[in-house]
Amino acid sequence: MPILMYHSVSKEEESGLRGYYQTVTSPPVFSEHLRCLQANGYQSCSLDEVVDRLEEKCRDETKRVVITFDDGYADFYRRAFPLINQYGYSATVFLPTGYIGDRPMQFKYRDCLTWSEVRELQKHGVVFGSHTVSHPQLRELSAEAVEKEIVRSKLTIEDKTGCAVKSFAYPFAFPQTDRGFIRQLRESLLKAGYENGVCTIVGRACRRSDRLFLERLPINSLDDRRLFAAKLAGAYDWMRVAQYLKKSWGNRTAKLRGDLEEDLPLSRSAQCKC
């Protein structure tokens, strides 16, 4: 099942970034994506429904898609949601709660949603999940700090909206090769009461997927109708393997470099003694 990963829907241009790393989708392109979904018979759903279908608790054969937005930008309220509502779709928005306030606050130089906008969107069917408090590199934090990030963000959203938060979105690139960290994070998420989640591993979610770290398809302005349709059909699923191999190779290279650096002083010392 395809889970789409958007960030900002705006007219802003991203210069100097390679296509894969761009996070802005223009309103006309976003509207074209929604038309493509509609033309191909997709209906939007929540992450709860994705998990039910993947675990075969639901045998409905209707084509489903999950539309997600990270970072809680205000342009979701002004530009994205009116189009989503126009096409009869729903969306899930992941909030970094440290940047969501009673007045507009900025994250990465962009305005974020306010709590009043969050509550208004919720009344219209938008689901909100956690994107931590401060959007940190979780892998670089202590276990205690990670727990605070995922627990406090969940409690804050629940307090401000009055609804349970079940979903979590991992910030930054997901460290899929670090099994120890993933195991620890999974335990912390379950302890905090999360039931599902998403990450940045590229591809469509499938029955082999971890329900707390479901794969997604990154989308931006460079996704024309043909490329967008190809992603929906599975043309990018191979990238999860490429991502894993690249990170595995990077880890091995870093370890080898570290081993060599540790050996070099010994070599120099030995040379001096000679």
Do 155 and 260 belong to one domain? Answer: no
Same domain, yes or no: 250 and 153: no
- The DSSP code for 97 is G
Judge residue 141's burial from the number of C-beta atoms within 10 Å of its C-beta, 0-12 exposed, 13-18 middle, 19 or more buried: middle
Residues 265 and 150 in one domain: no
User: How far lies 262's CA from each of 15, 106, 110, 213, in Å?
Assistant: 40, 43, 43, 36
Structural domain total, the chain:
2
Q: Are residues 188 and 216 in the same domain?
A: yes
Owning domain of residue 260:
238-274
Q: Do residue 201 and residue 254 come from a single domain? A: no
- In 3D space, the residue among 237, 131, 146, 128 whose CA is nearest the CA of residue 183 turns out to be 146
Please check whether residues 138 and 246 belong to one and the same domain: no
Together in a domain, 231 and 242: no
Instruction: Categorise residue 152: left if φ over 0, alpha if ψ from -120 to 50, beta otherwise.
Output: alpha
- CATH number of the domain encompassing residue 226: 3.20.20.370
Same domain, 133 and 41: yes
**Which pLDDT does position 252 carry in this prediction?**
55
Q: Based on the domain organization, do 90 and 163 belong to the same domain?
A: yes
User: Is residue 118 located within the same domain as residue 38?
Assistant: yes
- pLDDT tens, the chain, 274 aa long: 999 999 999 998 887 777 778 999 999 999 999 999 999 999 999 999 999 998 887 677 789 999 999 999 999 999 999 999 999 999 999 999 999 999 999 999 999 999 999 999 999 999 999 999 999 999 999 999 999 999 999 999 999 999 999 999 999 999 999 999 999 999 999 999 999 999 999 999 999 999 999 999 999 999 999 999 999 999 989 887 777 787 777 555 544 455 444 444 433 333 333 3
